[in-house]
Structure 1
Amino acid sequence: MKLLIVSDSHGLREELKQLKEKYENKVNAMIHCGDSELMANDEEISGYLVVRGNCDYDRQFPLDIKENIDGNKIFITHGHHYNVKMTLLNLSYKAKEVGADFVFFGHSHMLGAEMINGTLYLNPGSLLMPRGRKEKTYAIVEKNDHSITTKFFSDLHEELVDLRQTFTL
């Protein structure tokens, strides 16, 4: 399984279109964790699994998405309803409730990935206004039979190699 995860693009259009062109037929799913500030019928966001962030006004976007991709339970949210800027505890309760293998979220604009009790939690950072680092980022997650690898890329599609992590299953 291979996934593209983006978040907090705050009105960017060309960048989402470029990511779609680059990855559309190379990943199992393209995920946007909210604050796109686009409308559900905008061409640039079509093809993405999209949740509604605190800066999104189109009610067609759900607050959360539960998706099964290649036998993996994926939970997608923006994070503002789970207070992710302060703690992952509330989000971890929801992940356990839905039996998530992967949790993708945004809101804080701070990239990160960690494995907690067998569930991968990943925030891809922001394509517009990163916090904690200067690079504008997105993420690719790959899972095979033995491991999960998380990779972060700049908006110039260069991997931030020092951030790559591999989690053994």
Structure 2
Amino acid sequence: MSDAASSDLLALVQVHYQDLLRLLTRRLGCASLAADVVQDLCVRLRELGGDASAAIANPRAYLFRMAGNLATDHQRRARAIQRHLSPDPVPDALACDRPAADDVLHQRQRLLALRAAIDALPPRCREVFLLHRFTGLSHPEIARRLGISVSMVEKHVQRAMAQCRDHLRRLDG
């Protein structure tokens, strides 16, 4: 292709600039990327200069084909970069079921706060609460075992629960 043919193609880019831009915008989904590809097309046409030996039978078709090929190249490069930046997700077989370290730390802090709340209870209240929550005894069973009324068991459990809830609320801020 002679320099004259190259400059004729550049002039043809100017004539069909809007058509090229519309085509490439549809294909790439972005007007600024389409404008970049048209700019790349102009650079390539200048680089060709007199190096190409075959005569172009249909310059407009050649231009649009070249623009389409440049768009395809751009999409391939973008996918390659995306693959490099976004590694494949970890397969389920390799995923760890263990909780995150910060979750473990937070739960340990909550457990320590509960222990402190239980330790701060009066002895009888603490005993009732532990029998109820950790031994699984019913209120009447606790009342019989400790020789107190069911109503008193309920009050001790309510007091212990309120104290635990208050300690956790202070911890959670």
Measured against the shorter chain, the TM-score band is: under 0.3
* Superposition TM-score, scaled by structure 1 size: 0.22
Indicate the structure with greater strand content: 1
